[in-house]
Amino acid sequence: MIRLCGEHGIRAALIVLAIGACSRPQYLGAEMPSQCRQGDLDGCLGWMVERDLVAAELGVYDQPALRDYVQGIADRLAASSLLAKPPRVLIGERDGTYATVGARIVVARPTLERLSTEAELAGVIAHEMAHLEGRHTVASLFGPSPDDDWREMRRDAEAVADERAVHLLERAGYAPTAMARALRSVLVAEDDEHPTSDERIARVEAIAVGRGGFEGRAELLAGLDGMIVGRDPRLGHRVGKAWIIAALGIAIPLEDDDVIRDDEDVLVVRRDQATFTAYVIGAPWARELVADLEEREVATSVHGRVSAGTVARHAQHDDTPLGKLRRAIRVTLPQPPIGSRVAILERPCGALILELGGHRVSDLAVRAATPEELAAAVPARVAIERAPRSGQLAGLGVCPRRFLDDPARRVDAGDLVRCADRTLITR
């Protein structure tokens, strides 16, 4: 959401931001809560971050029972932490688990797929909680751009958070050795803001060696039962000769000569020497984008209101702290480039953005998705079964499709087995 850095030098400026929020009662179509009106900095910023995920880019995975389960783990860890109260946990739809300003922790659904025990999940949450304890997550609205010193500070903060997480696990009764397994599961790429994976794993293994505690494999599997696995196709999925957006109930017909690329729910089509791009955003964010269009034309179709126009440069006159925060957040949200021609189809549950790329609105047909197309976009979900007998998973025939768990793993009769009802990710 917002570039994160250390707190040094900007705390006073952020307090001014909270005061500035009092004069702006609305944000992304919702009335600001009492925290913003009463100067509660963390509460106000946390609410804004959550509003961005929910109302701007459909980035929150909505399964209340799962969120409550993960929140309960955070509550257990927080009881032995330095935090005054537990952070609020959200389940993110896309990859990337992180702590934010405003005492929020976003746990990615893909991260949950990779873990095997509740203790490993607790390790992931404890790492992010350590960032909150150390106040590593204050938004750098007024700070310098990243440089070598900033990256070194980030690497130090990550190492501290790993070590602190081991201690938080033990204090909460979890097995500290789960931290190394959690890191092995979730570290999928190296970057210059973190120590290397090997360094991080070796360090926490040395700290946790020989110390036991609660693991909770059955508890994790029960919590994940019914969770979507893999990519959720409802924000965009090709079925035959159409791109289906099941979340909005619509389809974009594709032609035989189209050159098609889709990446993370964004469709890019080259047609007749011109290119158009299509993707979904939240309805409140769409309304803000529509309000800023130049040369705007509005029409009503059977699918909803369609606004076409040119994306204008954002006005820079609002230099209040809240105005600066709004601009900092806006640039991180999915949106068409300045100067491009777009059409925005607004639906009650979201909106379709079409970056026209040389096309006219009339060149691009949108229709209602058929029941068969909607059915083809139903996502895969975790299904928990029990092993009927002892043996290797691959030979038991307990799951209707492929296993989430390692097919070579041996289980005893009655052990819980994690399956999925459709295509899924093995590990």
pLDDT digits (tens, 9 = 90+) for 258-268: 999 988 789 99
Residues 170 and 183 in one domain: yes
**Structural domain harbouring 295:** 233-376
Question: Of the residues 224, 250, 281, which one is the last residue of a structural domain?
Answer: 224
Residues 176 and 288 in one domain: no
Residues 212 and 292 in one domain: no
Residues 306 and 340 in one domain: yes
Residues 203 and 81 in one domain: yes
Q: Which stretch of 152-161, 187-196, 320-329 has the lowest confidence by average pLDDT?
A: 320-329
Region 389-418 average pLDDT:
79
- pLDDT surpassing 80 at residue 142: no
Share of residues in the chain with pLDDT > 70 (%):
85
What local confidence, expressed as pLDDT, does residue 425 receive?
Answer: 34
What local confidence, expressed as pLDDT, does residue 169 receive?
Answer: 97
- pLDDT surpassing 50 at residue 297: yes
Tokens for 350?
């979201």
Q: Has residue 35 been placed in a domain?
A: yes
Q: Has residue 426 been placed in a domain?
A: no
Region 338-360 average pLDDT:
93
Residues 122 and 201 in one domain: yes
What local confidence, expressed as pLDDT, does residue 205 receive?
Answer: 92
- pLDDT surpassing 80 at residue 151: no
Q: Has residue 427 been placed in a domain?
A: no
Strands 367-368 and 250-253, by their bridges, are: antiparallel
What local confidence, expressed as pLDDT, does residue 331 receive?
Answer: 78
Higher pLDDT, 350 or 24: 350
Question: Of the residues 376, 391, 410, which one is the last residue of a structural domain?
Answer: 376
Q: Which of 139-148, 200-209, 390-399 has the highest mean pLDDT?
A: 200-209
Region 185-190 average pLDDT:
83
Q: Which of 8-12, 107-111, 382-386 has the highest mean pLDDT?
A: 107-111
Q: Has residue 131 been placed in a domain?
A: yes
Residues 92 and 104 in one domain: yes
- pLDDT surpassing 70 at residue 280: yes
Q: Has residue 425 been placed in a domain?
A: no
Q: Which stretch of 172-186, 254-268, 317-331, 353-367 has the lowest confidence by average pLDDT?
A: 317-331
Q: Which stretch of 2-6, 34-38, 120-124, 288-292 has the lowest confidence by average pLDDT?
A: 2-6
Q: Which stretch of 272-281, 291-300, 331-340 has the lowest confidence by average pLDDT?
A: 331-340
pLDDT digits (tens, 9 = 90+) for 207-253: 998 888 999 999 999 999 999 988 889 999 999 999 999 999 999 99
- pLDDT surpassing 70 at residue 336: yes
Question: Of the residues 194, 224, 254, which one is the last residue of a structural domain?
Answer: 224
Residues 13 and 75 in one domain: yes
What local confidence, expressed as pLDDT, does residue 25 receive?
Answer: 65
Tokens for 328?
């900092």
Confidence of residue 155 (pLDDT cuts 50, 70, 90): confident
Residues 291 and 414 in one domain: no
Region 276-302 average pLDDT:
93
Residues 220 and 268 in one domain: no
Region 22-29 average pLDDT:
68
Q: Has residue 333 been placed in a domain?
A: yes
Domain count, the chain: 3
Confidence of residue 30 (pLDDT cuts 50, 70, 90): confident
Share of residues in the chain with pLDDT > 90 (%):
51
What local confidence, expressed as pLDDT, does residue 423 receive?
Answer: 38
Q: Has residue 347 been placed in a domain?
A: yes
pLDDT digits (tens, 9 = 90+) for 33-50: 888 878 787 788 888 888
301: CATH? 3.40.1000
- pLDDT surpassing 80 at residue 377: yes
Confidence of residue 143 (pLDDT cuts 50, 70, 90): very low
Residues 209 and 249 in one domain: no
Q: Has residue 11 been placed in a domain?
A: yes
Residues 264 and 192 in one domain: no
Confidence of residue 11 (pLDDT cuts 50, 70, 90): very low
Region 133-153 average pLDDT:
62
